[in-house]
Structure 1
């Protein structure tokens, strides 16, 4: 079957940048994904992780910084899924200055840990200045909310309001809000681009 450019199919560990961060000190920095991920999973599959940037943050010193996801993830089956990462299971990792404004579309009874930013967390890393556009849910599991700094799901109107970021450290040096087609905070080091834009 023909598929539009920027789409991928897979299972087990699937990420827009890298399948999973499996080595100590793996880093994703100043990266973005605007393409689409299509995930079809059989009912017998298990341990399936999918993320807009990576499926799994796994090892000591893993860092995701100044990066974003703005594509679409269409998923069927039982899965750990997040706009940034499907599973985070190392407390010595860091995710900072990142966002997900992509769409998560659940089809055919999709289930599991499906959140706007991080699908599942078996450990709590350092999460700082991370936002996700609401897909009708939360950025991550409720138990994680108390272990984050200036992070979470925001509505369209909240993301456009400058007072939503008053407590963010170094906001003006890292982020900017422009008037135009993308009205949410964008990274100065990694400006927001729509699909097909270089």
Structure 2
């Protein structure tokens, strides 16, 4: 209370949310439907109300025409419930979906497509702060925006970070992307763990070794 009283009457205190990535979820799932969320909780053996909200990692509208599954980000209200989902997966749309903890990833500027350059003192930055002289295409590396790109990116892509002509900047196998993600992981030590670390020693498993745990983690009740 002594801490909170220093804030204005209009201030809002948000509790921490635990974010996980649910893989290969049917696109037909209605992520903003409360009944759908409740059904996922029931099917996955979770208590009602533990899922705070869900959102697509990539909007279905931007998926390929014939694509039927994509990844879904789910926010939980506690580390224990998130860990239960990571260990046991989630049942969504009558499908068992694998789950993993969402890690921080390297972000590149959408104007220059770089993680940093001399004009910005080598520091990561957003497009609004970018001092590069012109737009750079993340697909082919040309001096234009991606929406104006005339290239066939299946054969004419070019990564300005790797100086490699076989992939665009957003390719997750890009060596520059992986390098900068590794730098983040070296800073944020929670990346070293498969689970959100709690007092439960089974959450202390390193991502360097795939854990083999007996049985299922106990689902916390509503009282913690």
Q: TM-score range by the shorter chain?
A: under 0.3
- Give me the TM-score of the superposition, normalised by structure 1: 0.23
User: Which structure dedicates a bigger proportion of its chain to helix?
Assistant: 2
- Give me the TM-score of the superposition, normalised by structure 2: 0.21
Q: Which has the larger radius of gyration?
A: 2
